């Protein structure tokens, strides 16, 4: 391993600019003639609009334009779309997908819904004029609760009777029922997966410009996938032809899924910039982020696990109600179905699984993918259920998992719910985690806590996730409207430095460093001579973006493929220059050598020769610039075991995580420092979900947790010093053996934390977030 | 934020006349509530009269067992003051745990008391320590100063100039923080004073208040176990997404016990 190659803990190249305040975020960019946007948003969760009077606003100081949905529709701008159709039970071919106007047409369906756009010379003028837009609302009853939305007396969309988007199922119902009939024990658990608000550090923003000379649009936008933004905005919204629209996602300050989606704001501003003839800047205020970023999770589920007398799992039956919010966001429909129920086998050999999911509409913000996207919901449900079964049957929670793990010799392993796992060794992670967490010493530590009037608990989570999203044909077969391949373009410059362009996007993952390490490793170029370029549709090749822990498994594989093409061409050039047969050229670490001789050319010399081809092989094109597209063969399956230990003060419910151990199998690791950081951040978010965070709408659909005064983000003092380790079974299905690491912490940690807290508090269920009050109440009940 | 006219007078007299000349003016101290409210367009004063330029309102002095703190002294200055740490360490500790570093470097004692947030810390301090609030017009005993939810004895143009705290024999403030805002979900200040034990509770109800039941029990027997027998009424407790009435009442007791133990 070189100091900068695969496996090296190289410091992140991008941190220099981030830590010195030199990042270049969308809101940092200002252009000549720029105007400012303010969106008029619905103050009601559900209301008819009987009229909009824009005349006072239009006459206000500095106002350039006030635009409504009528004008948007008149110009033929299409509604926002959902890109994944979910076919339902009983042969229903399509889910109910109500029209989602980018600016409301006659009705608003959640607090924060977009009603009108005000464009003005300054932000203050736009904000003031937005308050002067008179909207005649006729309030309607609001549908709020996930569990009570179906068959509510109020129907939100005509296109969705009973507020149902879909009634979907997976697995073998008859086999599951039969297994339950013969079970020695059945564990039943009802769980709520609490609704989360993404809270990226950088709020969403866009800057839309139209060039009247060329007829081109340029859109700077906070996006995890600028090419997808361009595709959807051209093909479906029709705001600009694809070849005339340049989408740039510059530095982006966190996404966690919330910046995958194509939102009303960027569509409306891109349309409006041409209409008003001025560039338009919009940056969300934090309160707008709370109201209108796509939220995450929000499931209400019942799980039943059938076991034999030895604690072996026989079958799992699950029903889930998933809140999709007021409209379908870009990938909303897939999250509680194919991203969720396909993971319900977990790391276990459960032979029969059946799950049905009702996706419901409510008068709340749209819900879509959030770090983990479906997989945290599956893991939480499964691991709460397994832990509960262990308690009910008096089996050690580690032992019940051991008895049910898929064994290392069973791969490839076909689960009953779509996925075929490629490789893994779940027992190895469990044993290592138990050792690192000193599970053997827990009883003594618990006694010590109790002697101080405290309670102590230990909780496990054995998780698996499907990353490296995803083989395009499989996505299409399941209703997805996109291919989820990735692209890479490696361009050698004549001086031997390299520009690497990929279709993924770096918004905290460290791509500029990790991808450079891969290229450095493969091509022998010093890492400081490699520039990774992402996020501009005019620069790099079309690519699908960053989410679902896919960038290294899919994008990294595309880079390797492109590097292989470089090496292949380099061999031809070397053979010619070194007067040898191509088959005699050996390549290693940037050097092309004639086998058995000391005749060698390094890759910089090859590059120079390729661009100055005076002495050059016949029939070979000049230049050293290769491109590759990679469509993965399967998902990748990171897995591991996390163990959380807590101490609880029963007099107040104060809960301290006193030890947290994470053992993850990510296969090959490119940069262990970046991966460890990803694990830390993911656990931080998972602890946030488990103990602190929760979006709360009141019965009228008003967001109670609309600011940091009430929405509790995890902070440093909520988190312990993490005890992080790895095991490794490299994926046989991609050239790097990688699996992806971005979401694991957020997937694994919530059940580990809740299993530990409930263990401390007598075993009864505590719903997330396990606030101090809930923990106190549980301790009271246990005493 | 809406537009407003800004004034920075150099004296209390100039400040009152600036406010008198304004349509709908507001005094500005540290601005930790007012500016945030204005940024959200929830307040639209025509004029802000910034008290930060009035030298007379700043500073800390100790004399005859009484600590006097100028109204525009920041929380950070109170926390770092050797005088306050020496005379009333529990007050320095309280100031040092208000909000975060940014808040403590801007927020002031006068601003906090004039705003009288139901979950603020200083209202508990003046009640427990039997402080006197001095204004440009009069002296107001702490027990007469706190009137209700965001309501004080201050008149429209009245300016707090300083607050005087008699040093207790011992005292401690225990705060259980609301997890999101980190304001006091419940805070209890217990002080042994010349007049006996004084207990003040903040965060629990619409405004900071004395705890007569706790005071009676602790005057009888100053020990944590004495708190166990006290019944804390739940009727007036705040109820919100962070805590119900029973939980807040429980926290009043637990914080009171911790404060008694910390008093030694």
Q: Residue A556's pLDDT is what?
A: 96
Per-residue pLDDT, averaged over A510-520, amounts to: 97
Percent of chain A with pLDDT over 90: 98
Per-residue pLDDT, averaged over A161-179, amounts to: 98
A751 to A94, A100, A297, A424, A646: CA distances (angstroms): 33, 35, 14, 21, 13
**Bridge partner residues of A600 (DSSP):** A593
pLDDT at B66 over 70: yes
Per-residue pLDDT, averaged over B160-170, amounts to: 98
Picking from B172, B226, B231, B162, the residue whose alpha carbon sits closest to that of residue B199 is: B172
- Residues A364-413 pLDDT 10s: 999 999 999 999 999 999 999 999 999 999 999 999 999 999 999 999 99
A192 to A167, A214, A336: CA distances (angstroms): 19, 53, 13
Tokens standing for A627?
């491109």
**Bridge partner residues of B217 (DSSP):** none
- Residues A724-733 pLDDT 10s: 999 999 999 9
Tell whether B242 is within 8 A of chain A (Cβ).
Answer: yes
- CA torsion angle B17 B20 B23 B25 (round to 10): 70
SS (H, E, C) A198-259: CCCCCCCEEEEEEECCCCEEEEEECCCCHHHHHHHHHHCCCCCCHHHEEEECCECCCCCCCC
Picking from A225, A224, A242, the residue whose alpha carbon sits closest to that of residue A233 is: A242
- Residues A24-77 pLDDT 10s: 999 999 999 999 999 999 999 999 999 999 999 999 999 999 999 999 999 999
**Best of B36, B237, B247 to mutate (most A CBs within 10 Å, chain A):** B247
Biggest alpha carbon–alpha carbon distance for chain B: 57
Percent of chain B with pLDDT over 90: 98
Q: Where in chain B is the domain with CATH 3.30.43.10?
A: 5-50
What distance in Å separates residue B181's CA from the closest CA in chain A? 4
Cβ-count burial of B85 within 10 angstroms (0-12 exposed, 13-18 middle, 19+ buried)?
Answer: middle
Q: Are strands A35-41 and A280-283 parallel, antiparallel or unpaired?
A: parallel
What is the DSSP annotation of A452-489?
Answer: TT-EEEEEEEEEE--BS---HHHHHHTTBSS---EEEE
**B5-50 is classed in which CATH architecture?**
2-Layer Sandwich (3.30)
Spatial strand order in the sheet of B25-28:
B5-7, B47-50, B25-28
Q: Where are the beta strands (DSSP E) in A33-130?
A: 35-41, 47-53, 63-68, 107-108, 114-120
Picking from A208, A221, A228, the residue whose alpha carbon sits closest to that of residue A255 is: A221
Q: Residue A24's pLDDT is what?
A: 97
| In contact, A289 and A203? CB cutoff 8 Å | yes
**Best of B180, B183, B244, B248 to mutate (most A CBs within 10 Å, chain A):** B180
Instruction: Enter the DSSP assignment of A553.
Output: I
pLDDT at B6 over 70: yes
Q: Residue B53's pLDDT is what?
A: 97
Tokens standing for A28?
């940092």
SS3 category, B91: helix
Neighbours of A579 (CB within 10 A): 8
At residue A110 the predicted structure's pLDDT band, cuts being 50, 70 and 90, is very high
Residue showing tokens 């005859």:
B64
Report how far residue A85's alpha carbon sits from residue A359's, in angstroms, rounded to the nearest whole number: 12
| Binary contact (B250, A128; C-beta < 8 A) | no
Per-residue pLDDT, averaged over A467-490, amounts to: 93
Tokens standing for A579?
């007067």
Q: What value, to the nearest 5°, has the Cα angle with vertex A749 and ends A746 and A755?
A: 150
| Binary contact (A710, B181; C-beta < 8 A) | yes
pLDDT at A479 over 80: yes
A550 to A237, A537, A553: CA distances (angstroms): 27, 19, 5
Tokens standing for A111?
């607090």
| In contact, A325 and A364? CB cutoff 8 Å | yes
SS3 category, A127: helix
B20 to B30, B31, B139: CA distances (angstroms): 21, 20, 22
| Binary contact (B242, A692; C-beta < 8 A) | no
Query: Residue A679, CB half-sphere, CA atoms under 13 Å: how many?
Result: 25
| Domain B57-166 indexed as CATH 3.20.20.140 | no
- The 8 Å CB, 24+ separation contacts for A694-700 are A694/A194, A694/A195, A694/A196, A694/A768, A694/A769, A695/A194, A695/A195, A695/A196, A695/A197, A695/A295, A695/A298, A696/B241, A697/A45, A697/A144, A697/A364, A698/A144, A699/A142, A699/A144, A700/A45, A700/A142, A700/A144
Nearest to B247 among A124, A287, A773 (CB): A773
* Cβ-count burial B113-123 (b if 16+ within 10 Å, e if not): bbbbbbbbbbb
At residue A2 the predicted structure's pLDDT band, cuts being 50, 70 and 90, is confident
pLDDT at B193 over 90: yes
Neighbours of B169 (CB within 10 A): 10
Q: Residue A1's pLDDT is what?
A: 59
Report how far residue B260's alpha carbon sits from residue B227's, in angstroms, rounded to the nearest whole number: 9
SS3 category, B205: coil
Q: Residue B264's pLDDT is what?
A: 78
What distance in Å separates residue A308's CA from the closest CA in chain B? 42
| In contact, B12 and B159? CB cutoff 8 Å | yes
Picking from A747, A776, A771, the residue whose alpha carbon sits closest to that of residue A761 is: A776
Sign of CA dihedral B22, B26, B31, B35: negative
Nearest residue of B to residue A698 by CA position?
Answer: B241
- CA torsion angle A181 A183 A185 A187 (round to 10): -60
CATH superfamily label, B170-263: CO dehydrogenase flavoprotein, C-terminal domain (3.30.390.50)
Please count the residues of chain B.
264
What distance in Å separates residue B75's CA from the closest CA in chain A? 20
| In contact, A62 and A120? CB cutoff 8 Å | yes
Report B:178-207 residues touching A (Cβ under 8 A).
179-181
Report how far residue A659's alpha carbon sits from residue B127's, in angstroms, rounded to the nearest whole number: 41
| Binary contact (A772, B241; C-beta < 8 A) | no
- Residues A622-660 pLDDT 10s: 999 999 999 999 999 999 999 999 999 999 999 999 999
| In contact, A325 and A335? CB cutoff 8 Å | no
What distance in Å separates residue A776's CA from the closest CA in chain B? 8
Q: Delineate the domains of chain A, giving CATH numbers in brackets.
A: 31-140+201-254+259-292 (3.90.1170.50), 380-461+636-782 (3.30.365.10), 485-630 (3.30.365.10)
- CA torsion angle A519 A520 A524 A528 (round to 10): 130
| Binary contact (A704, B241; C-beta < 8 A) | yes
Per-residue pLDDT, averaged over B190-218, amounts to: 97
More confident residue, A470 or B83: B83
SS3 category, A175: helix
Q: Where in chain B is the domain with CATH 3.30.390.50?
A: 170-263
What is the DSSP annotation of A343-406?
Answer: GTTTTB---EEEEEEEEE--SS--B---TTTTHHHHHHHHHHHHHHHHHHTT--HHHHHHHHBP
Q: Residue B75's pLDDT is what?
A: 98
* Cβ-count burial A404-434 (b if 16+ within 10 Å, e if not): bbbeeeebebebbbbbebbbbbbbbbbbbbb
């Amino acid at each position: 391993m070189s100091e900068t190659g695969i496996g090296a803990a190289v410091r992140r190249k991008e941190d220099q600019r981030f830590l010195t305040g030199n990042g270049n975020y969308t809101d940092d960019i200002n252009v000549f003639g720029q105007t400012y946007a303010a969106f008029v948003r619905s103050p009601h969760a559900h209301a008819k609009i009987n009229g909009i009077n824009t005349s006072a606003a239009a006459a206000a100081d500095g106002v350039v334009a006030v635009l409504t949905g009528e004008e948007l529709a008149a110009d033929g701008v299409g509604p926002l779309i959902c890109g994944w159709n979910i076919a339902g039970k009983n042969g229903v071919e399509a889910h109910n997908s109500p029209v989602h106007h980018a600016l409301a047409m006659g009705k608003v369906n959640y607090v924060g819904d977009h009603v009108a756009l005000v464009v003005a010379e300054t932000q203050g003028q736009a904000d003031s004029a937005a308050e002067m837009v008179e909207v005649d609302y006729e309030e309607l009853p609001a549908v709020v609760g996930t569990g009570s939305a179906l068959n509510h007396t109020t129907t939100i969309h005509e296109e969705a009777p009973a507020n149902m988007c879909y009634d979907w199922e997976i697995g073998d119902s008859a086999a599951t029922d039969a297994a339950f009939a013969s079970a020695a024990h059945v564990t039943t658990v009802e769980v709520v997966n609490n609704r989360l608000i993404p809270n990226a550090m950088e709020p969403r923003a866009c800057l839309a410009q139209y060039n009247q000379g060329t007829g081109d649009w340029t859109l700077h936008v906070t996006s995890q996938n600028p090419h997808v933004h361009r595709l959807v905005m051209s093909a479906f919204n029709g705001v600009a032809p694809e070849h005339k629209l340049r989408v740039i996602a510059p530095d982006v300050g966190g996404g966690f899924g919330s910046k995958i989606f194509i939102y009303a704001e960027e569509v409306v501003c891109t349309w409006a910039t041409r209409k008003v003839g001025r560039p338009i800047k919009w940056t969300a205020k934090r309160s707008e982020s709370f109201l209108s970023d796509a939220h995450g999770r929000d499931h209400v589920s019942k799980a039943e696990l059938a076991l034999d007398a030895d604690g072996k799992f026989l079958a799992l039956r699950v029903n889930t109600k998933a809140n999709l919010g007021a409209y379908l966001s870009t990938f909303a429909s897939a999250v509680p179905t194919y991203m969720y129920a396909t993971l319900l086998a977990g790391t276990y050999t459960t032979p029969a699984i059946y799950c049905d999911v009702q996706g419901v509409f409510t008068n709340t913000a749209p819900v879509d993918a959030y770090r983990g996207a479906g997989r945290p919901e599956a893991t939480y449900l499964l691991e709460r259920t397994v832990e509960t079964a262990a308690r009910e049957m008096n089996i050690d929670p580690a032992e019940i998992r051991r008895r049910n793990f898929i064994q290392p010799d069973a791969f490839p392993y076909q689960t009953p719910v779509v996925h075929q796992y490629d490789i893994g060794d779940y027992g190895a992670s469990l044993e290592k985690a138990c050792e690192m967490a000193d599970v053997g010493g827990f009883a003594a530590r618990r006694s010590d806590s109790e002697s101080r009037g405290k309670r102590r608990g230990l909780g496990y989570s054995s998780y698996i996730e499907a990353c490296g999203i995803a083989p395009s044909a499989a996505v299409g077969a399941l209703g997805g409207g996109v291919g989820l391949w990735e692209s890479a373009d490696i361009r050698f410059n004549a001086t031997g430095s390299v520009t690497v362009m990929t279709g993924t996007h770096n918004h905290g993952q460290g791509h500029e460093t990790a991808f450079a390490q891969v290229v450095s490793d493969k091509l022998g170029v010093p890492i400081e001579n490699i520039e990774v370029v992402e996020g501009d549709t005019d620069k790099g090749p079309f690519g699908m973006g960053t989410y679902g822990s896919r960038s290294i498994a899919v994008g990294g594989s595309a880079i390797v493929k492109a590097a292989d093409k470089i090496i292949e061409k380099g061999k031809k050039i070397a053979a010619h220059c070194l007067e040898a047969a191509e088959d005699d050229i050996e390549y290693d670490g940037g050097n092309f050598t004639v086998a058995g001789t000391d005749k060698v050319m390094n890759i910089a010399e090859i590059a120079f020769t390729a661009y100055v081809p005076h002495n050059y092989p016949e029939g070979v094109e000049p230049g050293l610039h290769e491109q590759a597209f990679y469509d993965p063969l399967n998902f990748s399956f990171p897995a591991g075991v996390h163990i959380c230990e807590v101490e609880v003060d029963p007099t107040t419910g104060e809960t301290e995580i006193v030890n947290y151990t994470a053992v993850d199998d990510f296969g090959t690791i490119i940069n262990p420092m970046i991966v460890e950081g990803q694990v830390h951040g993911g656990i931080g978010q998972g602890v946030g979900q488990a103990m602190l965070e929760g979006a709360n709408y009141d019965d009228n659909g008003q967001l109670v947790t609309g600011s940091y005064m009430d929405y509790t983000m995890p902070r440093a003092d909520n988190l312990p010093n993490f005890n992080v380790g790895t095991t490794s079974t490299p994926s046989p299905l991609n050239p790097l053996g990688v699996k992806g690491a971005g979401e694991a912490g957020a997937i694994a940690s919530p059940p580990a934390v809740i299993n530990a807290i409930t263990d401390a508090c007598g075993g009864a269920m505590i719903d997330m977030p396990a606030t101090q009050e809930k923990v106190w109440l549980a301790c009271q009940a246990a005493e | 934020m809406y537009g407003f006219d800004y004034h920075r007078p150099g004296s209390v007299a100039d400040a009152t006349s600036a406010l008198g000349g304004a349509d709908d003016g507001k005094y500005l101290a540290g601005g930790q509530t007012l500016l945030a409210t204005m940024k959200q367009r929830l307040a639209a004063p025509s004029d802000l009269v910034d008290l930060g330029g009035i030298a007379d309102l700043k500073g800390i002095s100790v004399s005859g067992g009484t600590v006097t703190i100028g109204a525009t002294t920041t929380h950070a200055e109170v926390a770092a003051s050797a005088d306050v740490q020496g005379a009333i360490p529990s007050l320095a500790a309280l100031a040092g745990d208000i909000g975060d570093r940014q808040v403590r470097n801007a927020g002031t004692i006068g601003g906090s008391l004039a705003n009288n947030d139901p979950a603020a810390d200083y209202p508990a301090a003046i009640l427990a320590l039997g402080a006197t609030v001095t204004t440009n017009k009069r002296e107001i005993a702490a027990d007469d100063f706190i009137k209700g939810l965001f309501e004080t004895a201050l008149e429209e143009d009245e300016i707090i100039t300083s607050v005087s705290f008699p040093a207790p024999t011992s005292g401690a403030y225990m705060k259980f923080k609301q997890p999101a805002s980190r304001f006091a979900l419940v805070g209890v200040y217990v002080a042994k004073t010349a007049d006996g034990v004084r207990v003040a509770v903040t965060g629990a109800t619409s405004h900071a208040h004395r705890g007569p039941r706790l005071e009676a029990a602790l005057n009888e027997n100053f020990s944590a176990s004495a708190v166990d027998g006290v019944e804390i009424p739940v009727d007036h407790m705040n109820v919100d997404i962070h805590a119900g009435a029973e939980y807040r009442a429980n926290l009043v007791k637990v914080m009171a016990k911790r404060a008694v133990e910390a008093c030694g």
